[in-house]
């Protein structure tokens, strides 16, 4: 059974801090990794995709991938209250994505 694990949280950070969200996966053959943001009552929104080991930066977001450790993370710099949401890690498995259960982030002003 292929699994994606995330700490459900809530993860609470003050405004302006760095939020670090983590995800581990079981399928060593996975090649694609995605982070989605989901506000309460809304649909998931793709934030980042990463396919190679290392870091990928997009604005305040940095995705980090370590395939040897089967670990992918999302860093949010200068966190804002508008970043408060559930963050879903998704890992490619064959023809489909396997989603983690999500980490709830709360940014306090």
Partner 1 sequence: DTEVTQTPKHLVMGMTNKKSLKCEQHMGHRAMYWYKQKAKKPPELMFVYSYEKLSINESVPSRFSPECPNSSLLNLHLHALQPEDSALYLCASSQEPGSLSEQYFGPGTRLTVT
| Rounded Cα–Cα distance for residues 18 and 31 (Å) | 27
Applying CB under 8 A, does 70 fall inside the site for partner 1? no
Applying CB under 8 A, does 53 fall inside the site for partner 1? no
Q: CA separation (Å) from 52 to 4, 5, 7, 45?
A: 18, 20, 23, 21
Applying CB under 8 A, does 102 fall inside the site for partner 1? yes
Shortest distance (Å) from residue 34 CB to partner 1: 7
Interaction residues for partner 1, span 14-33 (CB under 8 A): 31-32
Strands (DSSP E) along 1-109, which ranges? 4-6, 11-14, 19-25, 33-38, 45-50, 54-58, 61-66, 71-76, 85-93, 96-99, 103-108
Applying CB under 8 A, does 88 fall inside the site for partner 1? yes
**Among the listed residues 1, 43, 82, 109, the single contact to partner 1 using CB under 8 A:** 43
**Among the listed residues 12, 14, 39, 45, the single contact to partner 1 using CB under 8 A:** 45
Number of residues that bind partner 1 (CB under 8 A): 24
Beta bridge partner(s), residue 63: 56, 74
Question: Which residues contribute to the site for partner 1 (CB under 8 A)?
Answer: 31-32, 34, 36, 42-46, 49, 51, 88, 90-97, 99-102
């Amino acid at each position: 059974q292929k699994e994606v694990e995330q700490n459900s949280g809530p993860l609470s950070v003050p405004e302006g801090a760095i939020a670090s969200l983590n995800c581990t996966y079981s399928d060593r053959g996975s090649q694609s990794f995605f982070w989605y943001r989901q506000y309460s009552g809304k649909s998931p929104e793709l934030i980042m995709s990463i396919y190679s080991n290392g870091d990928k930066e997009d604005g305040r977001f940095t995705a980090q991938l370590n395939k040897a450790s089967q670990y992918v993370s999302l860093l949010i710099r200068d966190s804002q209250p508008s970043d408060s949401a559930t963050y879903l890690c998704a890992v490619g498995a064959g023809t489909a994505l396997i989603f983690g259960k999500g980490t709830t982030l709360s940014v306090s002003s």
